[in-house]
Structure 1
Amino acid sequence: MLVFPNAKINLGLNIVEKRVDGFHNIESCFYPVGWTDALEITPAGQFTFQSDGIAIPGNGNDNLCAKAYQMLAVDYDLPPVKIHLLKAIPIGAGLGGGSADAAFTIKALNQQFNLQISHEKQLSYARRLGSDCAFFILNKPAYCFHRGDEFEDVSLSLAGKWIVMVNPGVHISTVEAYSGVQAKRSGKDLRTVLKEPVASWRDQIKNDFEATLFVKYPLLETIKNNLYNLGAFYASMSGSGSTLYGIFDEEKNLKENFRNYKVWQGFLD
């Protein structure tokens, strides 16, 4: 079975408070985008995980795809498989690529072996693997809160808008990103702002990580400003960085403008 785990962007990211367990409660809107990895699962004599493309740090058995398989294998007595991941979504880029790979592994195994796992149980499995893994089970625009693993539907569509995503190759760990932020509640509910005309988002929707990470990595702010100068009606850093994106009303080919970086561009659904 071959599936294509996709990335996501954050429309706004407010760090609301630090939790007693050391994590943070946030509010954000996750929106799926078309930048994808490729994930293939085939029968095998013994379980193996292999990856190509962008190098993935660490032991392959520690990969979230492998952990997803092992979790389901215990509960459903799955036969061994070979998982092959072609990694194209940048790592440490605020795009949720690893989380998407894990969630799509759960969904693919469910389909391949006809496990008939309910959406709710798939969400439960995904939450055990990471805070934003669960988003990719349903994989549709959602208002996210608590650790980013609880969701509400939002009536938001950017279908037909053009997005340009620029990754300068700066790897920012979650620990690094959170080390510089001060948690505080936003003055206006993000769900309310998202209902307002998109032209107003620039002044109202923000990513709390930008304040400190732009100081540490000025290049990120430069890319964001360039996206605005090139006509984006909204631009932001996604997640905890380092990918910047701009949303445009019409198609634009900006690869030459950011020729030294990884760029993905396409229409939103």
Structure 2
Amino acid sequence: MALRSIIDVAAPAKLNLFLHVVGRRTDGYHLLQSVMVLIDWADVLHVERRDDGRLARHDLGPALPADDLCLRAARALRAASGTSLGADISIEKRVPWGAGMGGGSSDAASTLLALNRLWGLGWPLEKLLPLGLALGADVPFFLRGRNAAVEGIGERITPIEAAPRTFAVVKPADGIETRAVFTSPLVGRSQEAAIVEGFTARQFDDSGREYGRNDLQRAAEALSSDVAAVSSWLEERYGNSRMTGSGSAVFARTSLESTGLPDELPAGWTGRICRSLAAHPLLGWADEPA
């Protein structure tokens, strides 16, 4: 039996504290190692169950494709489950597009979790994960709902306990297509292989700088000079910066007490102070009865 016919759910963004490219599979997919943390910059999804089987988005804008990840997630779950139900999905889009913050993947994960409940399927998390991975490498991370070390193409996820953190996160006007970054000859290559042990043992070096790097940042900066500009802006104000994911957003660690950016952002940029989350707001939804 479904929880209720209408539900509002959060879809938080993530930051990659570091992102190492450690290899490449024969099918062309890059093998990655990263630590990803959830933050309180989040979209809000409004999902309503339909009895006629129709699936629809009602807020598609120029930055979103007509066949976006939310609809793909809903179609995949409907096909796999055999349900005759449908849904209307609307999103209050707050996380910027093309930022490397996982906004679309998070929306897809929250869609799967919400429809699993609204349709009364009662699927456990392990049954949703393959659907998520088929939609995108970051979707399983959001489905699991914990800060984590992530390896492979996103399928190997090890939860970690991360201390509360505060970040200044800024995205320039440009978004960057993930495929363009990964196909760039400027993508770096790291040798570190034991990211969980390495991260916990070397989270900070003696100078206080964050462990590791983002091996995609050089390629992203070549595609968009604004990435380097944002990085410099943050370095001048916080003494550190790093791109998240495949860009174009860049973040800086700041004090836990920070409440706002120190200066007005240049035209076209968007940003805010973000807090890390201990867990996804929907953690446990796939393990509880509908």
Normalised by the length of structure 1, the TM-score is 0.89
- The Cα shift of 1:162 comes to 1.8
In the TM superposition, 1:5-154 aligns within 5 A as 5-44=11-50, 45-52=52-59, 55-59=62-66, 62-74=67-79, 75-154=81-160
8 Å Cα contact 1:13/1:28 also seen in 2? yes
Poorly superposed stretches of 4+, deviation over 6 Å: none
> Of 162, 166, 172, which residue of structure 1 is paired with 2:166?
162
Higher helix share: 1
The CA deviation at 1:56 is 3.4
> Within 2, Cα distance between the matches of 1:35 and 1:65?
18
Instruction: Report the RMSD for the aligned CA atoms in angstroms.
Output: 2.2
Determine helix, strand or coil for the equivalent of 2:241: strand
Distance 2:127 2:233 in 1: 43
Is the CA contact 1:5–1:39 (under 8 Å) kept in the aligned structure 2? Answer: yes
Structure-1 separation of matches of 2:272 and 2:62: 19
The answer for the alignment partner of 1:266 in structure 2 is: 274
CA–CA distance in structure 1, aligned partners of residues 110 and 77 of structure 2: 13
Q: CA deviation at 1:235?
A: 2.2
Partner of 1:251: 258
Distance 1:252 1:223, change over 3 A: farther
How far, CA to CA, are the matches of 2:273 and 2:84 in structure 1?
Answer: 38
Q: Which residue type is aligned with residue 184 of structure 1?
A: R
Percent of aligned pairs with the same residue?
24
Q: Distance between the aligned counterparts of 1:226 and 1:163, measured in 2?
A: 14
Instruction: Flag the 1:228–1:53 CA change in 2: closer, same or farther, 3 A.
Output: farther
CA contact (8 A) 1:18 1:183 kept: no
Which residue matches 2:191?
186
Compare 116-125 and 257-266 and name the one that shifted more: 257-266
Code of the residue aligned with 2:112 in structure 1: it is I
User: 2 CA distance for matches of 1:177 and 1:237?
Assistant: 12
Aligned-pair CA distance for 1:197? 4.8
Give 3-state SS (helix, strand or coil) of 2:99's partner: coil
- Residue in 1 that maps onto 2:280: none
Q: Is the 8 A contact 1:156 1:194 kept in 2?
A: no
CA contact (8 A) 2:260 2:272 kept: no
CA distance in 2, matches of 1:239, 1:144: 12
Unaligned runs of 5+ in 1: none
Taking a change above 3 Å as real, the CA distance of residues 213 and 136 of structure 1, as seen in their structure-2 partners, is: same
